[in-house]
Amino acid sequence: MPRVALIAHDDEKPEIIDLVTDHESLLASFDLVATGTTGQRIAEETGLEIERKKSGPVGGDTQIGAEVVEDRLDGIVFLRDPLTAQPHEPDITALLRICDVHDVPMATTRTSAEYLLDGLAAELEETV
């Protein structure tokens, strides 16, 4: 079962909820992990089971980075606000670096997230 992390800056939380809602049946077959607030909002809106880490400002993104290092993630969706991210929001730079080092895909836009999810769905179908 693919394991995917979900992270979103504050202004992008509605977009990640919309993305998850649109792909809910697919994501129900995935093992999902998210930073605290993002995970809470997704769970409340969809009912999907999500392992919640700490909120981004207190280290949730670092916890997700550790999962990349431990080879526990197949991909990350990090919808970020490149123009108005707030100082308290997770910084993508370290997480992007660790994903590059460990060859784990990270999507930072809605379109790239859909490609990532489609790719993981195709891999899932191949194993069935």
What residues does each domain of the chain span?
Answer: 3-127
Residues with a catalytic annotation lie at 61
Query: Is 55 known to sit in a ligand binding site?
Result: yes
Query: Is 84 known to sit in a ligand binding site?
Result: no
Tokens of 56: 């981004």
Count the neighbouring beta carbons within 10 Å of the beta carbon of residue 121: 16
- Residue 126: pLDDT band with limits 50, 70, 90: confident
Query: Is 38 known to sit in a ligand binding site?
Result: yes
Q: What is the pTM of this model?
A: 0.93
Residue 115 has pLDDT above 90, yes or no: yes
**Residue 44: phi, psi to the nearest 5?**
-65, -40
What pLDDT score does 87 carry? Answer: 62
Tokens of 81: 């606000």
User: At 34, is the secondary structure helix, strand, or coil?
Assistant: strand
Average pLDDT, the chain: 92
CA distance readout (Å), 38 to 22, 126, 127: 16, 30, 30
Helices then strands, each counted (H, E), the chain = 6, 5
CATH architecture of 3-127: 3-Layer(aba) Sandwich (3.40)
Of 4, 19, 36, residue with least CA distance to 111: 19
